[in-house]
Amino acid sequence: MMKKAWVLLALLALCAIVLPGCTPSTPDCAVADLVQPIPSGPLGGMIVTDLYTELLWSYGAGHECQPDGFKLELATDSSFTTIYSYGGTDAFDTSWGLPTPVPSGSPPPLPPATEFWWRVAGGLDDGAGGLDLGPWSVPSHFFTGPICTDGVGVANLIWPTDGETVTTLLPLLDWEWPRTDCVPEGYRIDLYEDIEPVSDILAGGTGNPSTAWFPGDDLVDCTAYRWFVTPITDITLGTASVEWGFFIDVSGTCSTVGGMVWHDECGLPEHGPFPITPPPGCIDDGVGGYIGNGVIDPGETGIGGVTLNLGAGSCPSTGLATAVTNGSGHYSFGALADGTYCISVDSLADGNDAVIIPGGWSYPAASTSLVSQEIVVSGGTAPDTNFGWDWQFLPVPNTSGIVGTVWHDECAVPYSYTPGDPIPPGCIDLGGGVLAADGIFEATEVGIQGVTVDLGFGPCPSTGAYTALTNLDGTFTIPGLFDGTYCVTVDALAHGNDTVLIPGDWTFPDRGVNPQEVQFDIVVPPEGLGVGLPIQNFGWDYQFLPAYGDEKTGNTRGPANCYLGPSEFFPVMWLIPEYTPFWIEGRDYDGEWLWTIPEGKNNECWLLLEDVHLPFPITEVEVVYEPLLVDGSISGWVKSGGTKPVPGANVTLKSGVCPGTGSGLGALTDGRGSYLFSPVTPGEYCVLAPSSGGYTPQYYNVTVLSSQNVTGIDFTK
């Protein structure tokens, strides 16, 4: 013992001579004699912007037992289970920090936007190069910066969760900050009773970036509360978090009457076909429409500002109390005694019309403005009483559509073309020298305006769900489609399309269909909703368009008939107004008729030369028709309803008085519903209506004289 004291005296002398200010531990000082160091910075949740910050503390000045050194722990949690760093100092060195970044190979700085906890303990030399530690200091904590100044970021609430029942009067509200590059200077916490109108708001603040907060006073048992958090930098509030609610029930015997008014979503397209099956979230309303399904589906939200009424006893009953839904759609009438109650809400009363009209109740489903539910509070419990509202025009559904173009698939055939000649651009040979457009939508080809496109539900054939008319550029759009299979149809003989398209033929997506109708199945997949629109085009090859070679023009002198053929014995296609321009495609052999396209028409017809004015000699027009030899003819129309032409109808001509003799000759009506028997020699004939029946009259007795052309032999059904 004397030897140890002597050594200590020598050390004291050394300290006095060599190391002024050195005060070693007291002889016979035990670990139990050490006291807690006192942290002096950083502490109290302060924000440090120096990521190589220094930790400072003090030790009891003048205390008889001084440590030989200190140990420190730096952690990212208050329980020090996740140690970020640790270290130590020599005796009486009451500061410690990460090395500055100057030396090569020094440790990295502290990460930004992080909460750190730290503590320090003094210790005595254990004789083995370590320390026997005394008590740890009280833990202190700080945050690393920088401070968020851009106003970006929303706190994520953690506890109490929305709708949770809490069994303490002082719940620790907990949230998290999502950013890892900066922290706010603090948070504002808004806590209030879940009643309307809102009165007392228990607002508080953290004063630092801590993400937990206790109310300043006990909350009230059997009471519902709402809360949200807003970050603060300087004095500027950022974006508030979502709002959550919880219920205090310490004893487990509380009951409260409340619930939610929610938006029961059933999205129907404003334009497009009415769906034949209920869209997502919808059910059949029993009167030919759809309404919300009456279930709070994931993602559906509450409606704030709706007033509800509470009455005692069975429904109908009011007058006991009123409640207004908060921003999340929740309402509460507070704790009630056991018994029967009526909760009601009227969409046209209490100012609710300004909040929720137009729409209707989906739960309870009703066609009236007033709905009610009867509840029973028993044994301290009561069910949530919810009301579902389906807004008329919300939500806008996530749908797709179909777009496309009806285009003129061009194939210009020279008048002198014979099989074996080079095939013109845009044409293909169908066999036997018959040319047609190639079915490819070329960049130079144009759309056809005024064509009606028909949509049907399910695979083809199906029509009647919706129609769309092509625009100036030939495009059409069918909007508001949910996923499923549809049939897109263009019928050249329906919806007035014949006046736009006939004569001609389809080239895409089908060629040569009969009757002039093209259909296409198209599938809208779920992943296509609201993304891209399926495209379906239709190609039409006009029989006489486009013209081949240089175009010449003229105009009518006065009103002029334009005939199906180069003779007045052919049916009149159009009456052309005076001074109407036309394009000249050719002439007959004698130069008496012009093959033309009048302005505003899609197809050729024949004009008498004497009815038109030409700015050039007729001899400059190419001959496209040899002399027409007429030795008698019979012609007429076949119509439906008295006005609509019937193409493809078979009219029969027999010799003799009706019913005639032999099998006879047949003539098919063209796109205009007209037919022609020529030449016809003088004699008696029987003209029979199409065999499909229903025509008036069923037959004509016709007498043809030499070179006579009999017209007006018409059939109607």
HEC states along 458-519?
CCCCCCCCEEEECCCCCEEEEEEECCEEEEEEEECCCCCCHHHHCCEEEEECCCCCCCCEEE
For 261-283, what is each residue's pLDDT tens digit? 998 888 777 665 767 677 778 88
Give percent of the chain above pLDDT 90: 23
Q: Classify the C-alpha dihedral 117-123-126-129 as positive or negative.
A: positive
Mean local confidence (pLDDT), 451-479: 86
Q: How far apart are CA 454 and CA 490, in angstroms?
A: 6
- The answer to whether 228 and 244 have CB atoms below 8 angstroms apart is yes
Of 518, 491, 516, nearest to 503 by C-alpha is 516
Q: Three-class SS string for 421-453?
A: CCCCCCEEECCCCCEEECCCCCCCCCECCCCEE
The pLDDT-based confidence of 587 (bands split at 50, 70, 90) is confident
The CA–CA distances, whole Å, from 268 to 190, 265, 369, 394 equal: 38, 10, 21, 8
Q: How far apart are CA 520 and CA 490, in angstroms?
A: 9
Number of Cβ within 10 Å of residue 47's Cβ equals 19
Q: Is 44 left (phi over 0), alpha (psi -120 to 50) or beta?
A: left
Q: What angle do CA 711, 712, 715 make, to 5 degrees?
A: 135
Q: Is the pLDDT of residue 252 over 80?
A: no
Place of tokens 């109390």: 321
The pLDDT-based confidence of 329 (bands split at 50, 70, 90) is confident
Per-residue exposure over 288-316, b if at least 16 CB sit within 10 Å of its own CB, e if not? eebbbbbebeeebebbbbbbbbbbeeebe
> What integer pLDDT is reported at residue 523 of this predicted model?
62
For 479-504, what is each residue's pLDDT tens digit? 877 777 888 889 888 888 888 887 78
Of 258, 260, 256, 259, nearest to 381 by C-alpha is 256
Which SS3 state, helix, strand or coil, does residue 12 take?
helix
Q: How far apart are CA 645 and CA 244, in angstroms?
A: 70
Which SS3 state, helix, strand or coil, does residue 206 take?
coil
DSSP of 608-657, one letter per residue? Answer: EGGGEE-SS-GGGSPEEE-----S-EEEEEEEETTTEE-TT-EEEEEESS
The pLDDT-based confidence of 172 (bands split at 50, 70, 90) is very high
Place of tokens 């254990």: 126
> What integer pLDDT is reported at residue 456 of this predicted model?
85
Q: Is the pLDDT of residue 226 over 60?
A: yes
Give percent of the chain above pLDDT 70: 84
The CA–CA distances, whole Å, from 661 to 380, 649, 683, 691 equal: 100, 21, 13, 16
Q: How far apart are CA 609 and CA 149, in angstroms?
A: 85
Q: How far apart are CA 539 and CA 372, in angstroms?
A: 59
For 615-633, what is each residue's pLDDT tens digit? 677 877 887 764 444 557 8
| More reliable by pLDDT, 697 or 44 | 697
For 652-675, what is each residue's pLDDT tens digit? 999 999 989 888 888 888 766 778
Which SS3 state, helix, strand or coil, does residue 282 take?
strand
Place of tokens 């047609």: 436
> What integer pLDDT is reported at residue 464 of this predicted model?
83
> What integer pLDDT is reported at residue 373 of this predicted model?
93
> What distance, in Å, lies between the first and last C-alpha atoms of the chain?
137
> What integer pLDDT is reported at residue 653 of this predicted model?
93
Q: What tokens were used for 712?
A: 């007006």
Q: Is the pLDDT of residue 522 over 80?
A: no
Which SS3 state, helix, strand or coil, does residue 33 take?
helix
E strand or H helix that includes residue 16: helix 2-17
> What integer pLDDT is reported at residue 143 of this predicted model?
94
| Residues 10/14/20/23 CA torsion (nearest 10 deg) | -30
User: Judging by beta carbons within 10 Å of its beta carbon (0-12, 13-18, 19+), is residue 690 exposed, middle or buried?
Assistant: buried
Its pTM surpasses 0.75: no
For 10-32, what is each residue's pLDDT tens digit? 333 333 333 333 444 455 789 99
The pLDDT-based confidence of 200 (bands split at 50, 70, 90) is low
Q: How far apart are CA 351 and CA 368, in angstroms?
A: 16
Across the chain, what does the average pLDDT equal?
81
Measured in whole angstroms, how far is the alpha carbon of residue 286 from the centre of its chain? 28
> What integer pLDDT is reported at residue 158 of this predicted model?
94
Q: Is the pLDDT of residue 450 over 50?
A: yes
Q: How far apart are CA 387 and CA 355, in angstroms?
A: 14
> What integer pLDDT is reported at residue 2 of this predicted model?
29
Q: Residues near 712 by Cβ (< 8 Å), separated by ≥ 6?
A: 636
Q: What angle do CA 482, 484, 489 make, to 5 degrees?
A: 100
Q: What tokens were used for 568?
A: 């007045």
> What integer pLDDT is reported at residue 314 of this predicted model?
92
User: Judging by beta carbons within 10 Å of its beta carbon (0-12, 13-18, 19+), is residue 94 exposed, middle or buried?
Assistant: middle
> What integer pLDDT is reported at residue 515 of this predicted model?
37
Highest-pLDDT range among 249-263, 447-461, 583-597: 447-461
Mean local confidence (pLDDT), 538-553: 70
> What integer pLDDT is reported at residue 678 of this predicted model?
79
Least confident window among 25-29, 253-257, 404-408, 487-491: 25-29
Domains and CATH numbers, the chain: 24-144 (2.60.40.10), 156-254 (2.60.40.10), 260-391 (2.60.40.10), 414-537 (2.60.40), 552-625 (2.30.30.40), 633-716 (2.60.40.1120)
Q: How far apart are CA 64 and CA 27, in angstroms?
A: 10
The pLDDT-based confidence of 53 (bands split at 50, 70, 90) is confident
Q: Is 70 left (phi over 0), alpha (psi -120 to 50) or beta?
A: beta
The CA–CA distances, whole Å, from 258 to 112, 324, 352, 501, 709 equal: 44, 11, 18, 65, 91
> What integer pLDDT is reported at residue 5 of this predicted model?
27
Number of Cβ within 10 Å of residue 478's Cβ equals 26
